[in-house]
Amino acid sequence: KTTYRQCIIYLDSFFTIDGTASFVTKQPDYAGFTHIYSTFSPSLKEIIYFLNKRSINLYAEQLAVITALQSGEKATTANGVKAILRFLEKMDIDTKGIRLYDASGLSRSNMITTKSMVKLLSAMTRHKSFSTFYQSLGIAGDPKDIGHVKKFGRKSILAKNTRVKTGLISAVRSHSGYVTDRSGKQIAFSFIANNFSGSYVAIDKIHEKILIKLAEKGN
């Protein structure tokens, strides 16, 4: 059985290294450059709007890195995740039901309970940035919305009455957000279907039916 060490020795036998390592490029002297043009990022409000409406994973990952930097840590995803968990704890949300590996939700190592998600959604209604967050969620059944839920709840009580953020990876489908029932009460909800063998459309229909019942309970 070949050991790791034996493998390294074998590979080293093909190479001869002598001399001293040195940098082949140098940090440019920007002081000698001519400034041509400056461009600025859109506002954080605009970024979050498109992030949630269009599920732009790159934006989510970069915001995690920036969050780490703003918290005084090295700009890495791991530090961004730590900052997110600290925020959740500050919002009095039990993080025992949450495991984050990235900020976009693409990793299968991510785990969260619907209970934790609903607690977060409820806590956000009391946060100073709630309006920005709420407006960034997709509008169910609204053909003019740029989000992914234009057909969700169409021609039902959910249409233009429900704000939704969807989630989708292989064999996982989720819908979380807010719906207003007939009595005018706003309800936070979260549905996550894991390891199903059917179609995503079928799961969407199930979630839609549950939400319709929830919205009509205020009758």
pLDDT confidence bin for 53, thresholds 50/70/90:
very high
Instruction: Say whether 103 sits in a helix, a strand or coil.
Output: coil
pLDDT score, position 219: 62
Please give the share of the chain, as a percent, with pLDDT higher than 70.
99
The reply to whether 100 and 121 lie within a common domain is: yes
How far apart (Å, rounded) are the C-alpha atoms in residues 63 and 116?
A: 21
pLDDT confidence bin for 12, thresholds 50/70/90:
confident
- Domain-ending residue, one of 134, 160, 180: 134
The reply to whether 115 and 141 lie within a common domain is: no
- Domain-ending residue, one of 134, 166, 184: 134
Instruction: Say whether 176 sits in a helix, a strand or coil.
Output: strand
The reply to whether 107 and 179 lie within a common domain is: no
- Domain-ending residue, one of 114, 134, 154: 134
Mean of all residue pLDDT scores within the chain = 94
How far apart (Å, rounded) are the C-alpha atoms in residues 41 and 43?
A: 6
pLDDT score, position 22: 80
pLDDT score, position 86: 97
The reply to whether 102 and 171 lie within a common domain is: no
pLDDT score, position 7: 83
Question: What are the distances in angstroms from CA 4 to CA 8, 12, 13, 155, 199?
Answer: 6, 12, 15, 63, 45
| Any domain includes 168 | yes
The reply to whether 90 and 123 lie within a common domain is: yes
Residue 130 pLDDT > 80: yes
The reply to whether 65 and 142 lie within a common domain is: no
Among 146, 148, 210, residue whose Cα is nearest residue 179: 210
Question: What are the distances in angstroms from CA 42 to CA 48, 68, 165?
Answer: 10, 20, 22
| Any domain includes 10 | no
Q: What is the CATH classification number for the domain harbouring 55? A: 3.40.710.10
| Any domain includes 218 | yes
The reply to whether 91 and 113 lie within a common domain is: yes
Question: What are the distances in angstroms from CA 40 to CA 37, 64, 71, 149, 152?
Answer: 10, 19, 22, 31, 36
Query: What does pTM read for this prediction?
Result: 0.84
The reply to whether 75 and 129 lie within a common domain is: yes
- The mean per-residue pLDDT over the stretch 174-185 comes to 97
The reply to whether 50 and 126 lie within a common domain is: yes
Residue 105 pLDDT > 60: yes
| Any domain includes 31 | no
| Any domain includes 130 | yes
pLDDT score, position 95: 94
Residue 2 pLDDT > 70: no
Residue 61: partners with Cβ closer than 8 Å, 6 or more residues away: 77, 102, 103, 104
pLDDT in tens, 138-168: 999 999 999 999 999 999 999 999 999 999 9
Range of the domain at 84: 42-134
The pair of structure tokens assigned to 131 is 């309006």
Please give the share of the chain, as a percent, with pLDDT higher than 90.
83
Domain tally, the chain: 2
The reply to whether 161 and 112 lie within a common domain is: no
| Any domain includes 18 | no
Render 16-72 in DSSP notation, one character per residue.
Answer: ---S----SS----GGGSPP-----PPPHHHHHHHHHHHT-HHHHHHHHHHHHHHTT
The reply to whether 64 and 124 lie within a common domain is: yes
Residue 41 pLDDT > 90: yes
Q: Are 123 and 91 in contact (CB under 8 A)?
A: yes
The reply to whether 114 and 144 lie within a common domain is: no
Angle between helices 57-70 and 77-90 (to 10 degrees): 80
How is the beta sheet containing 186-194 ordered, strand by strand? 138-139, 162-169, 172-180, 186-194
Provide the CA 172 distance to its chain's centre, in angstroms: 15
Residue 1 pLDDT > 60: no
**For the chain, first and last CA: distance in Å?**
72
